[in-house]
Structure 1
Amino acid sequence: MTLPTFHEHMLPTLETLSDGQEKSLNEIRETVADMLDISPEDRSDMVPSGKCPRYVDRVNWSVAYFKQAMLVEAVRRGVYKITNRGRDLLGTNPSQIDRQLLMQYPEFVKFITPNNSKTSSDTQTSASAADDTPSTPQELIDDGYQKIVDELADTILSTVKNCSPEFFERLVVDLLLAMGYGGSRQEAGTVTRQGSDEGIDGIINEDRLGLDVIYVQAKRWEGAVSRPEIQKFAGALQGQRAKKGIFITTSTFSNAAYDFTKSIDSKIILIDGIRLSKLMIEHNVGVSTSDTYVIKRIDSDYFHDL
């Protein structure tokens, strides 16, 4: 089942309060999820940031929008009640509530319009644009961030493919160190480049104490790495009496390669080019911060006496 859109969450959210009773935000969320018959799998579907389930985010923003449009009111912290305006709207039997519909309320127009001095035509344009985007503000931020990350990952991968074998060697070591392996560069272990395949082979300590080691191989390839290459790597692990290995490539792995890693006793992790570039972003290797945006939420504990 496909999770209903943000707009499709709105009408059930307001209908949940139609009996006039005060209800907590958690009650509203669960009732809406039941009304929309959201499956357990879809209830666990998280927003891209991983902060909360997507349906929870959509109900939260529905309530927030209704509050701005004065369709509901907060009677106390985290508890809401429908207003006369909200009942009047439900009395029109709307087939759907969306942001364009809410633009009939001046309070919501003021809230949704970044510049309150806009002309009426500008406001109409804003309403149309809002209706064309059935996503919550959090989803828009997360989706925009993910697009930036994906574009950056592609750029990183293209750059890595063009770097020298020596630089690629340092890059892999830097990434493993940033991920917590080896402790320091001096403690990391030994990594030696094999010029014949422009990859690297070596070992790195799994931890700062060197209680275990991990065998590493990396290849700057264009085509998919096939099963025979992983079989050779597994044989190298046996020769080193090692049970853990990381195989890194700038390209991809074949399905047979992945299947092979599941059929052997040794633990071999396959990192393809896309995952390599995203790990570099996650652990700040080869990237720098361009802009920082801090999203704040109300501190309920601060208002505990209200």
Structure 2
Amino acid sequence: MMELKEYPLLHQVDLMLALLKVATEGRATLDDALSRLKGNLRSVGEPLPVPDSEIRGELARALDRLTQAVLLEPAGDGGFRITPRGMRTLAEHPGGVDDSVLMRFPEFRAFIDQESGGRPAGRKTVFTGRTDDPRIIEYDEGYAAFHDGQPLQANPYEADRVMHLAWENGWCQARDDSLRGESWSAAVRKA
């Protein structure tokens, strides 16, 4: 399996942007987003470097993350539509979004928190039915690092790796929890 981030116009930002944009036109499907990505590639003279099924799988994972952040919502029969929050976020980030943008939303942070300890491991994603791996170990390491008094710059992972982002997200969540004076899990249980 190839890493899509190695190819132009197939990074996580591009996948999420395709999903958000097709949803602005009404109810959409993964095939609609796949067609949009293929059109983007054709417009710059690039072939589709991997099979449709691989890109469809990556789109499904991106769709689940956007759904967890309430930027998209299910619309029956595997379809989805954009939410008002999704429209605002797309207007604020017309070049696309990634997990760093999604972390602004409490529902997405709760999803990541639940994945890292607020709920048993192995939660199934909404659209793929597969177990999602948001880099739980690195997130927990970052969370613990904050409580151990380490600065954000103590992140031990290379800046261009997903583990770096997961560690940073854990550290930032611990800081936010500390500022609120309670753990995020406790706040979620209250809701």
* Superposition TM-score tier, normalisation by shorter sequence: 0.5 to 0.7
Change in 2 beyond 3 A, CA 1:42/1:97: same
CA distance in 1: counterparts of 2:63 and 2:37, whole angstroms: 12
| 8 Å Cα contact 1:14/1:86 also seen in 2 | yes
SS in 2 for 1:81: strand
Asked if the contact 1:69/1:107 (under 8 Å) is kept, the reply is yes
Task: From 7, 12, 15, give the equivalent of 1:9.
Answer: 15
Alignment partners' CA distance in 1, 2:70 and 2:60: 15
Cα distance in structure 2, aligned partners of 1:63 and 1:97: 12
Residue aligning to 2:49: 42
What is the TM-score normalised by the length of structure 2? Answer: 0.52
Q: Indicate the residue corresponding to 1:122 in structure 2.
A: 143
Report if aligned partners of 1:68, 1:108 keep a CA contact under 8 Å in 2: yes
Contact 2:38 2:48 in 1 (8 A): no
Cα distance 1:92–1:41, how it changes in 2: closer, same or farther (>3 A)?
closer
Kindly provide the amino acid, as one letter, of the partner of residue 51 in structure 2: S
Confirm or deny: 8 A CA contact 2:41 2:48 kept in the other structure. no
In 1, the alpha carbon distance for the partners of 2:143 and 2:94 equals: 26
Give secondary structure in 1 for the equivalent of 2:96. Answer: coil
Mapped contact 1:63–1:72 kept (Cα < 8 A): yes
Q: 1:6 is matched by which residue type in structure 2? A: Q
CA distance in 1, matches of 2:40, 2:22: 9
After TM superposition, the structure 1 = structure 2 runs for residues 1-306 of structure 1, keeping only pairs within 5 Å, are 2-3=7-8, 4-19=10-25, 21-37=26-42, 39-44=46-51, 52-53=53-54, 55-113=55-113, 114-116=116-118, 122=143, 132-133=161-162
Q: How many residues align?
A: 123
SS of the counterpart of 1:73? strand
Q: CA deviation at 1:80?
A: 0.6
C-alpha root-mean-square deviation of aligned residues, in Å? Answer: 3.5
* Contact 1:23–1:81 under 8 Å retained in 2: yes
The 1:108–1:36 alpha-carbon spacing in structure 2 relative to 1, beyond 3 Å, is farther
The CA distance in 2 between the partners of 1:95 and 1:30, in whole Å, is 18
The separation in 2 between residues aligned to 1:116 and 1:106, in whole angstroms, is 14
**Structure 2 gap ranges (5+):** 1-5, 120-138, 147-151, 164-191
3-state DSSP class of the match of 1:60? Answer: helix
Q: Structure 1 residue 122: deviation in Å?
A: 2.2
CA contact (8 A) 2:103 2:109 kept: yes
Say whether the 8 Å CA contact 1:13–1:32 is kept in structure 2.
Answer: no
Q: CA offset at residue 5 of structure 1?
A: 2.0
* Structure possessing the higher relative contact order (Cα contacts under 8 Å, 6 or more residues apart): 2
What per-residue deviation string (whole Å, max 9, x for no partner) do you get for residues 103-130 of structure 1? 00111111123124999x72997xx989
Q: Shift in Å at residue 132 of structure 1?
A: 3.7
Aligned to 1:161: none
Identical-pair percentage:
23
Segments of 4+ moved more than 4 angstroms: 38-41, 128-131
Instruction: Give unmatched runs, 5+ long, in structure 1.
Output: 46-51, 135-306
Q: Report the CA distance between 1:10 and its aligned residue.
A: 1.6
Deviations 1:35-71 (A, max 9, x none): 34484441428xxxxxx32x22221111111111110
Question: Could you tell me the TM-score, scaled by structure 1's length?
Answer: 0.34
Q: Residue 7 of structure 1 contacts residue 97 of structure 1 at CA under 8 Å; is this kept in 2?
A: yes
Deviation at 1:27, TM superposition (A): 1.8
Indicate how the Cα distance of structure 1 residues 106 and 57 shifts in structure 2: closer, same or farther if over 3 A, else same.
same
Question: How has the CA–CA distance of structure 1 residues 25 and 8 changed in structure 2, closer, same or farther, with 3 Å as cutoff?
Answer: closer
Name which one, 1 or 2, has greater alpha-carbon Rg: 1
Counterpart amino acid of residue 19 in structure 2: T
1:175-205 deviations in Å (ceiling 9; x for gaps):
xxxxxxxxxxxxxxxxxxxxxxxxxxxxxxx
